[in-house]
Amino acid sequence: MNIIFLGTNGWYSTDLANTTSILIKSENFYIILDAGDGIYKIDQYIDDEKPIIILLSHVHLDHIIGLHIFAKFRSNQEVKIYGYKGIKKHVYQIIKHPYSSPFDEIPLKVQMHELSEGEHNIGFPLTCKFLVHADPCLGYRLELENKIITYCTDTGLSPNLYKLAKDADIFITECSYKPGQEEWSWPHLKPEEAAEVAVKSRVKKLVLTHFDASYYKTMDDRKIAEEKAKTIFPETIVAFDDLELTIH
């Protein structure tokens, strides 16, 4: 199983990175975590007709703006998009004329599904819980090939963050704020906070992503965050665009 980081910026794209999107290539599925504009790269990695599943955390534009480029894909492959209750109307408000080609006018066979908080089976076991953010935002816990992958972005500290991360093999979470940074009104994490969650939740590896583009302007900025997190949780890495991890 491979995890490819297609976009690792939060808020907006820069020369350093696209906005948030992660591809998981598993035995039976292509699973995409959020649809920032980094998602345009998926045709470099998708090479068969396995179902495509997209898990949307929320509808801030840096997490869904990539949906408008689906018209570029000429395949009639099946795509299932999942998100919180009510997400359909929010996505359809944007992915329509005059802003974009609607899903029913493109070759991809796109379906949208809404999830209640809790446990589901969408071809694999999936748990979703609400995180703490300015607008509704889901975190996800996936069970794939005897591994637990947790994805939580755009969140402050909350009990659900710890529940989703518990005993995860890979804990992918956000790092919007710099070490020690004074927070503003929208809840986000600092690297030391993410590392503390990793310790308390007994995860095996922590991957930091979703770096606020206005604060993290260079790879050196990310490396400083990585070093800070490693003082608390040594098994930490920072993601960058096109990073590929192999999970055995």
CATH assignment at residue 6: 3.60.15.10
Q: Are 191 and 228 in contact (CB under 8 A)?
A: yes
- Whether 226 is covered by a domain: the verdict is yes
Q: Give mean pLDDT, residues 37-62.
A: 96
* Contact yes or no for 2/238 (Cβ under 8 A): no
> Which band of pLDDT confidence, cut at 50, 70 and 90, is reported for residue 70?
very high
Mean pLDDT (whole number) for 75-81? 93
Is residue 125 one of the residues assigned to a domain? yes
CA gap 152, 162 in Å, rounded: 10
Mean pLDDT of 97-117: 96
For residue 54, is it within any domain? yes
pTM over the 0.95 mark: yes
The edge-to-edge listing of strands for the beta sheet with 236-238 is 118-121, 125-130, 138-144, 147-152, 170-174, 205-209, 236-238
The residue among 199, 181, 198 whose CA lies nearest residue 190 is 181
Distance CA 235, CA 59 (A): 31
Domain total for the chain? 1
Q: Name the residue with tokens 């710099």.
A: 178
Per-residue pLDDT tens over the stretch 30-45: 999 999 999 999 999 9
The answer to whether position 228 is within a domain reads: yes
In angstroms, the CA 83 to CA 56 distance is 5
In a domain, 248, yes or no: no
Instruction: Determine, yes or no, domain membership for 113.
Output: yes
pLDDT per residue over 139-195, tens digit each?
999 999 999 999 999 999 999 999 999 999 999 999 999 999 987 778 999 999 999
Task: Find the farthest-apart pair of alpha carbons in the chain and give their distance in angstroms, rounded.
Answer: 51
